[in-house]
Amino acid sequence: MRRGATRHSLLVAGKSGRTVDELIQLLAGMGLPGLLAQAAGMLAVCAIIIGYIAVASMFMIWWERKISAHIQVRLGPMRVGGWHGWAQSIADGVKLLLKEDIVPTAADKLVFALAPIVVFATALATYVIIPFGPGLWTKNLNIGVLYYISISSLTVVGIIMAGWSSNNKYSVLGAMRSAAQAISYEVPLVVSVLGVIMVVGSLNMEAIVEYQSSRMWGFFPGHWLVWGQLVGFLVYFTAALAECNRLPFDIPEAESELVAGFHVEYSGIRFAMFFLAEYANMFVVSAIAVTMFLGGWKGPVLTLGFLSPGLAAKLWGLFWFLTKAYFLIFVMMWLRWTLARLRVDQLMHLGWKVLLPIAFLNLGFTGLFLILKDVWWGS
Amino acid sequence: MTAAQVLFYLLAAFTVALALMVVLAQNIVRAAVALIFSFCGLAGLYLLLDAEFLAAVQVLIYVGGITILLLFAILLTSRIAGKGVRVLNEQKLLSGLVAVVLVVLLGAAVRRGFPALAARPPQPENTPAIGELLMTTYALPFEAVSILLLVGMVGAIYLARKEPR
Amino acid sequence: MDAQAATALPQGIEFERGETAEEMYVNMGPQHPSTHGVLRLLLKLDGELIKDCIPYIGYLHRCHEKIGENRNYIQIIPYTDRLDYLASMYNNWSYVKAVEALMGVKPPERAEYMRVILGELQRIASHLIWMGTFGLDIGNFTIFMYCFREREMILDLFESVSGQRLNYAFFRIGGMPMDFPETFYNDADGFLEWFKGRLPEYDRVMTDNIIFQRRVQGVGILSEEDAVGYACSGPVLRGSGIRWDLRKNDPYGIYDRFEFDVPAGDRGDVWDRYMVRRLEMEESARIVEQALAQIPPGEIMAKVPKTIKPPAGQVYSRVESPRGELGHFIISDGTPNPYRYRVRSPAYVNLSALPAMLKGCLVADAVAVLGSIDIVLGEIDR
């Protein structure tokens, strides 16, 4: 356990927010006063993150359509933009922007407008702790994982706000179902992550990745936590699918069920925000899984001649991280187009009576193992 | 005027304004939403005090648990586009006076009781420190709280189950 | 501020208070993605449990039987296609068989073989649509595409034979209008080869998937007595355990020359009905294979007069369509138009058993149970 890190008085600082601090120092060096440099630096990082989310979501939407098409013996988008319809998402985004913004007459206008903002803002806020590479994070919080868990529970608030403000009884019921699903699966999600935290001994994302860094036999990533915490990983992945409202847990979005979803009254850019938030969430969930179970950004680093070692480490770290995260996203999409939908009561049964006991057993065995390890082999 | 002070005043104003909205809003769901945001403001204030674990738990439990509970209760028991309830009654002036007196008294008590700290001593890392305290010094209250939660859950399940026909 | 208002229906839909405070009536359809046509189901709910269900039909009524009285016997044939538009060959066959029985005409051997081949291919096509849309309702989008891929091949076969993809009007009183084209035999053999490998694929995607099994097993049970009592037929009856298939129990045409099994379930739930149809596809492929091997050369049309004027009398003639017993009852009075023309639609009768199947189900199961009956509104409403 690392104790006694020096702390800034203002922001909650972890070991280092290296890249961001470097950026701020760069700006300060250019002559901006301290406060302004900090603000400018933070804004710049925020812009980068939002830009990344926008591009990544558009890519994921196109990719999903392609994957679903090829699984279903079709081709998917082929024309828009030339090569395999790569500009399809952009076209869809433009279309959504140009759509008429319909607000139901008796809806509560303020809450109706706030709901998609809350949902998207919480999705955005969880990007603070994602470690894209060594030093490539917005802020290395000491409470890294806990921060993600608490912010992700705000999504439920946004969903309920959306459902209620649409002034539609079916919307309210859909929102409550969605909220019930989200909070039911939050508990196994948290408990499965606790196993990893116990083994590593810290909530800090960088510490978790560093723990998984050594290799066996020169190349095999033997210390990835997915091997030791396989049960935890599976529980986490299942619960994460449910948090993102993806099939087989997409009751809130399925239109062939009796009750329509919570965002049925939203159109145009407001609907686009819900949609973007869902894909942003998918990425965050995969990123957390990669960090906690699959070794984060660790992977072989090849210094090509013209790159400095620091920069090479950063770029390769980013590459490995994104590869692993998008592989998990691919698995999520694969599952969506292969499996059928769970009924609502079966969903609840799975969350409370299957995943939660398994997660607790995992936690118990992990704790037992850690204590016995100390006793037998000495700490 | 350091950034910390600016942030503090902003957060404090935000929290107080929203708390006022909770009390004065006509629409009960708007009051609940204002409560959510004021809890978030409170979490920000905890962050300024270097209590990051508490801030995260504040968001997780208060916003992600208790206010959801409130919203569920409101949605299940009220008319969807309900007319506003009467928020203020005839005793406006008296209650306003009481509130102001309370603020003055509390402010005076706080200023008297806590002399200004010149520099905050460096805090140990929050999460492990709290964990150790809960498991050693405060183990008994910790267990008592968990029993209380268990009792609450059993009671809720019992009350909510359908009567067997 | 009452509890009922929060869960009540939006304005414009009438509802009644049920016996207890928790009961309410909920409407499914007529515009609903999963009711397979314009069908309205009024569900009486107690919380999530379905207490009763009232199907409202008639949205697709097109006065088929009345039209039949005003057309002569040959003109009715294209109308019959539009009844059960997913299994047109069988509508044609049932009607044509009825008129042939009235007139005492026997179609030649080759025509009978052609009828069997086209009929069984049509059965496969109909079951493929059913399986695809059923999977879609349950949430499995992929099986829909896979089934339609095979159906396209069958439709191409039909197009090469009759020129039409959906409503063929290919049967005539006394035989068939045209022979198979030269390319038909190779194409049909190719399709059968391809299809053999596809059924295990469907099993991997849907049948063996535990989520799908959990959704359909033990749901929508129709007991044997109920199945017989409601006069159900086809896979609905066989799913409940009664091994009754008109091709074996009351054989018509040349069905007694082919070797095939009749699958039946034991519990009468959605899973059994699903498996019956899934296995029937294999059996139909077997029959087509045997028929293609045995088909003799020869005439395809018997000697019938130009104007069909059957002698006065009545007949009820039935075939085993993919949905069940499809029957035509015709009363002739010696004139070129029938006096009374009546269709016994299997989906209509099977749908009447829906309330019995839905007792004790949850709302979320209604879609699965309705899908398992395999209704076609064109046939139900006529």
Confidence (pLDDT) at C8? 44
pLDDT, tens digit, 9 for 90 and up, residues C127-148: 999 999 998 888 888 899 999 9
In a domain, A173, yes or no: yes
Distance, in Å, from the CA atom of A236 to the CA atom of A351, rounded to the nearest integer, reads 11
pLDDT, tens digit, 9 for 90 and up, residues A220-234: 666 788 888 899 999
Give the side-chain half-sphere CA count within 13 A for A120: 18
pLDDT, tens digit, 9 for 90 and up, residues A174-185: 788 888 888 899
Confidence (pLDDT) at A312? 77
Asked whether the predicted pLDDT for residue C161 surpasses 80, the reply is yes
| DSSP code string of A259-317 | S--TTTT--HHHHHHHHHHHHHHHHHHHHHHHHHHS-TT-S-----TTS-HHHHHHHHH
pLDDT category of residue C1 using cuts at 50, 70 and 90 = very low
| CA closest to A204 among chain B residues | B127
Residues from chain C that touch A341, judged by Cβ atoms under 8 A, are 138-140, 211, 215
- The tally of domains found in chain A comes to 1
Confidence (pLDDT) at C349? 93
pLDDT category of residue C13 using cuts at 50, 70 and 90 = very low
Residues from chain B that touch C5, judged by Cβ atoms under 8 A, are 79-80
Confidence (pLDDT) at B118? 59
Paired residues of C8 in beta bridges: none
Can you tell me the mean pLDDT for C19-38? 70
Domains, in order of start, for chain C: 3-56 (no CATH), 64-381 (1.10.645.10)
Which residues contact residue A179 at a Cβ distance below 8 angstroms, ignoring those fewer than 6 apart? Answer: A156, A159, A160, A163, B68, B72
Q: Which of A111, A160, A183 to mutate to test the interface with B (most CBs of B within 10 A)?
A: A160
Average pLDDT, chain A: 82
A65 within 8 A of A76, measured Cβ to Cβ: yes
In a domain, A2, yes or no: no
Name residue B74's amino acid: I
Residues from chain A that touch B60, judged by Cβ atoms under 8 A, are 146, 149-150, 153
- Asked if B82 has any chain C CB less than 8 Å from its own CB, the reply is yes
Per-residue HEC secondary structure of C299-323 comes to CCECCCCCCCCCCCEEEEEEEEECC
Residues from chain B that touch C3, judged by Cβ atoms under 8 A, are 76-77
pLDDT, tens digit, 9 for 90 and up, residues C329-343: 999 998 999 999 999
Can you tell me the mean pLDDT for A18-26? 68
**Other CB atoms within 10 Å distance of the CB of residue B157:** 9
Asked whether the predicted pLDDT for residue C287 surpasses 70, the reply is yes
Closest approach of B163 to chain A, Cα-based (Å): 19
pLDDT, tens digit, 9 for 90 and up, residues B47-59: 888 888 999 999 9
Confidence (pLDDT) at A341? 82
Distance, in Å, from the CA atom of A279 to the CA atom of A63, rounded to the nearest integer, reads 11
Angle (CA) C114 C116 C122, round 5°: 105
Closest approach of C372 to chain A, Cα-based (Å): 15
What count of residues does chain A have? Answer: 379
pLDDT category of residue B164 using cuts at 50, 70 and 90 = low
Residues from chain A that touch C7, judged by Cβ atoms under 8 A, are 169, 173
Across the interface, which of B36, B63, B75 has its CB nearest the CB of A176?
B75
Q: Cα-flanking dihedrals φ and ψ of residue C23, to 5°?
A: -80, 145
Confidence (pLDDT) at C21? 53
Asked whether the predicted pLDDT for residue B128 surpasses 90, the reply is no
Task: From residue C257, give the alpha-carbon distance in Å to each of C112, C174, C234, C252.
Answer: 11, 20, 21, 11
* Prediction pTM value: 0.83
Can you tell me the mean pLDDT for C166-187? 91
pLDDT category of residue B104 using cuts at 50, 70 and 90 = very high
Domain that holds residue A162: 99-377
Distance, in Å, from the CA atom of B80 to the CA atom of B89, rounded to the nearest integer, reads 24
Question: Quick one: fold of B1-80?
Answer: Four Helix Bundle (Hemerythrin (Met), subunit A) (1.20.120)
- Asked if A168 has any chain C CB less than 8 Å from its own CB, the reply is yes
Where do the domains of chain B lie? 1-80, 123-165
Question: C359: which 2 tokens?
Answer: 């007792």
Asked whether the predicted pLDDT for residue A14 surpasses 60, the reply is no
Cβ under 8 Å to A: C residues 133-172: 135-142, 144-146, 149
Distance, in Å, from the CA atom of C169 to the CA atom of C107, rounded to the nearest integer, reads 17
Confidence (pLDDT) at A172? 79
Does the ipTM exceed 0.85? no
Confidence (pLDDT) at C321? 93
Confidence (pLDDT) at A42? 81
Cβ under 8 Å to A: C residues 335-364: 362-364
Confidence (pLDDT) at A257? 56
Question: C159: which 2 tokens?
Answer: 């197009």
Per DSSP bridges, beta strands C40-46 and C49-56 are: antiparallel
Q: Higher-confidence residue: A186 or A344? A: A186
